[in-house]
Structure 1
Amino acid sequence: MRLILLGPPGAGKGTQAKRLMDEHGIPQLSTGDMLRAAVKAETEIGLTAKDIMARGDLVPDDVVVAIVEDRIGNPDCSNGFILDGFPRTVAQAESLETMLRAHGLDLDAVVQLEVDEEALAQRIQRRAAESGEAVREDDTVEALHNRLMVYREQTAPLIEHYKDTGHLVTVDGMQPIDGVTASILAVLQKAKSGQLHAAG
């Protein structure tokens, strides 16, 4: 299964990715982790990225896609993978699709966890009140609203893109965790049987 999980900060993507990894025996690929690993391993693309980062520049899309391409060639990705934090823009999505096609691959599904933003903010406040501890700077309601704004501007256009390609499936992320997992697994069963793209 080759999957992308989409959803705003706090939607539960990390929790669901972990469950899918256990269920399907596939790795979760974080572009940040892959970038650091490539730099550390001093692969050709890793050295390119290291030079770019040393100059203080953003790593361009083609280099990130090349790092993903390197990573999915590893044996643990033979049954598929879950992409985490990539793609973030439509341009990155198109680059990813071109690369996958070059290897005769396609995405099985792009699962959007749909959540109520106000409920997310309440969840953060409740978590802070229950813990009684100082809240991380990036885990306050104000920070959440900022991250949601960035998500809407940059990543939400991906939803329309994947609707157009027929890959998008929306799951109610406000269900209990087990309910979200069950909904995603039902979607993946459809994808396996080829019903998903036929419906899309």
Structure 2
Amino acid sequence: MRIIFIGAPGTGKGTQAQWITDQYNIPKISTGDLLRNEILKKTELSKKIKKIINCGKLVDDNIVTQLIKKRIKKKDCNPGFLLDGFPRTVNQANAIEKINIKIDFIIEFSLTEKLILERIQGRRIHVESGRVYHIIFNPPIIENKDNITGQPLTIRDDDKEEKIKKRIKEYKKFTVPLIKYYKHTTKLSNIKYYKIDASYTTLEIKKNIENIIKNNLLK
């Protein structure tokens, strides 16, 4: 089961990806997580990535693709994987095709910019695991504490409003053409494409995705 999640920041991709990882025992691969982990290594590449992210821009396609390729080669990806927010550009989509990464289906999360900005203010992250919470839609059991470890949750620096607006602008510029590309590509391949209204509740979206997964597993 190899899945791609597409959607702007704040559409709930991370929340839905987490339960899929837990339930189906496949890793969630987020470019954000990979980039943040790379930054912690404090190499020349990490300095370059940090500078780009701090400016609210997207990291170069070649850098991201190589990080994804390296991650998918790990043993835990053999049963499948979930790509959360990757590819983000047509060039990245072409890159994963060239290295023969097979994709079974794609789920697009659709949400208005106004709701994205409202939701993003309540997002909280457990840095070490990448678990994502929301103070309204997916609150932790104990306020501002990770459900598993009890460690404090944080607000990511790139989740601040000014940077979110820049990321939405970048999303529209690069990912909207990607959506058009995949809709055309899926008509010519075995890849299935689904669009979900991300304004629904977390539980409603989960049930929708569960149906999609079950229908694909039965085929």
1:141-197 Cα offsets, whole Å, 9 max, x none, are 554433322211121211111111214210111111011011112112233344xxx
- Between structure 1 and structure 2, the one with the greater Rg is 1
The residue identity in structure 2 corresponding to 1:168 is: Y
Match of 1:152 among 159, 169, 172: 172
* Structure 2 residue 84 is matched with structure 1 residue 88: no
- Of all paired residues, the percent bearing the same amino acid is 35
CA distance in 2, matches of 1:193, 1:62: 36
In the alignment, which residue of structure 2 is the partner of 1:7? Answer: 7
CA distance in 2, matches of 1:139, 1:64: 20
In the alignment, which residue of structure 2 is the partner of 1:171? Answer: 196
CA distance in 1, matches of 2:15, 2:35: 22
Q: Is the 8 Å Cα contact of residues 27 and 80 (structure 2) preserved in structure 1?
A: yes
CA distance in 1, matches of 2:63, 2:117: 35
Q: Is the 8 Å Cα contact of residues 110 and 195 (structure 2) preserved in structure 1?
A: yes
Structure 1, gaps ≥5 residues long? 42-49, 195-200
**TM-score of the aligned structures, taking structure 1 as reference length:** 0.72
**TM-score of the aligned structures, taking structure 2 as reference length:** 0.66
In the alignment, which residue of structure 2 is the partner of 1:17? Answer: 17
Which structure shows the higher helix fraction? 1
The residue identity in structure 2 corresponding to 1:85 is: G
- Aligned-residue Cα RMSD (Å) equals 3.4
CA distance in 2, matches of 1:153, 1:55: 22
Structure 2, gaps ≥5 residues long? 53-58, 124-135, 137-142, 144-154, 187-191
Query: Cα–Cα, structure 1 residues 142 and 168, in superposed 2: closer, same or farther, change >3 Å?
Result: same
Aligned pairs for 1:116-131 within 5 A: 116-124=112-120
1:24-80 Cα offsets, whole Å, 9 max, x none, are 111111235445667989xxxxxxxx5555678977534533332222122211111
Query: Cα–Cα, structure 1 residues 39 and 192, in superposed 2: closer, same or farther, change >3 Å?
Result: same
Count of residues paired in the alignment: 178
**Alpha-carbon distance, 1:86 to partner:** 2.1
Query: Cα–Cα, structure 1 residues 137 and 37, in superposed 2: closer, same or farther, change >3 Å?
Result: closer
Larger displacement relative to structure 2 (11-20 or 183-192) = 183-192
Query: Cα–Cα, structure 1 residues 125 and 178, in superposed 2: closer, same or farther, change >3 Å?
Result: same
Query: Cα–Cα, structure 1 residues 75 and 122, in superposed 2: closer, same or farther, change >3 Å?
Result: closer
Query: Cα–Cα, structure 1 residues 53 and 191, in superposed 2: closer, same or farther, change >3 Å?
Result: same
Query: Cα–Cα, structure 1 residues 123 and 65, in superposed 2: closer, same or farther, change >3 Å?
Result: closer
